[in-house]
C-alpha cells in the first residue's frame, strides 16, 4: 500500500530525535502566535482606517472648495505637499522624532488650502516605534503629530499657523 504525503511526513516526524521534535513544536506554536497577532493587528488597523476615512474625505472636500476660489487657492503644488508629508513622516517614523524638521515644513505653508493639501497628502499612515513594548501608532497627520510632539513643539507649530492666518491647529 502506498503512503500518502501526510503519512510520510508523520513517519519522518515520529522518527526525529525528541529534542528536535520539541524545537519543531515550539517553532510551530511561535509561528501560530505570530499569525494570530498579525490578524488581530490587521483587524484593529481596518477599524481605525474606517474611522479616519471620513476625516480624509472631509479634508478633500474642503480643499476642493478652497481651490475653486482664486483668493484661497493652494499655493504649493500637490507634489510639494506630498514631499512635505513624506518629510514629516520620515521625521516621526522610528526611534526618536526630528521635531525641527517638522516645524520647518510649516514655515513653507501659505494658507488654509496648503495645510489641507499637506493633510490630504499625508492621509493615514503608521508611525513605527521600532522599539520593544511601544506600540506603533496609526493616524492622520494631526493625530500622528499629537502623538509624537511634545507641548512646546505643538505650540511652536500652532504659533506659525496663527501668524500665517491658517485656521487649522495641531
169 is a domain residue: no
pLDDT tens string, the chain, 170 residues long: the values are: 567 888 888 888 888 898 998 999 999 999 999 899 888 878 877 777 777 777 788 888 889 889 898 889 999 999 999 999 999 999 999 888 999 999 999 999 999 999 999 999 999 999 998 888 888 888 999 999 999 999 999 999 999 999 999 999 99
Contact present, 101 and 115 (Cβ < 8 Å): no
| Number of domains making up the chain | 1
Asked whether 133 and 82 are in contact (CB, 8 A), the reply is: no
Residue 170: inside a domain, yes or no?
no
Evaluate whether residue 168 is within a structural domain. no
pTM score, two decimals?
A: 0.73
Within a domain: 36: yes
Structural domain of residue 154, as residue ranges?
5-163
For the chain, give me the number of helices (H) and strands (E)?
7, 2
Residue 66 grid cell: 478652497
Amino acid at each position: 500500500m502506498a503512503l500518502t504525503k501526510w503519512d510520510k511526513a508523520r513517519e519522518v516526524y515520529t522518527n526525529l530525535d525528541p529534542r528536535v521534535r520539541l524545537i519543531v513544536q515550539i517553532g510551530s506554536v511561535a509561528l501560530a502566535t505570530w499569525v494570530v497577532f498579525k490578524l488581530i493587528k490587521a483587524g484593529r488597523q481596518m477599524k481605525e482606517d474606517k474611522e479616519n476615512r471620513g476625516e480624509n474625505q472631509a479634508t478633500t472636500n474642503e480643499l476642493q472648495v478652497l481651490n475653486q476660489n482664486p483668493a484661497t487657492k493652494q499655493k504649493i503644488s500637490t507634489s510639494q505637499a506630498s514631499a512635505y508629508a513624506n518629510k514629516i513622516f520620515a521625521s516621526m517614523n522610528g526611534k526618536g522624532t526630528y521635531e525641527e524638521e517638522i516645524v520647518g515644513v510649516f514655515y513653507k505653508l501659505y494658507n488654509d488650502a496648503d495645510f489641507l493639501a499637506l493633510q490630504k497628502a499625508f492621509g493615514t499612515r503608521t508611525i513605527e516605534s521600532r522599539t520593544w513594548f511601544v506600540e506603533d501608532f496609526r493616524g492622520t497627520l494631526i493625530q500622528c503629530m499629537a502623538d509624537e510632539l511634545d507641548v512646546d513643539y505643538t505650540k511652536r507649530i500652532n504659533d506659525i499657523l496663527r501668524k500665517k492666518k491658517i485656521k487649522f491647529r495641531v
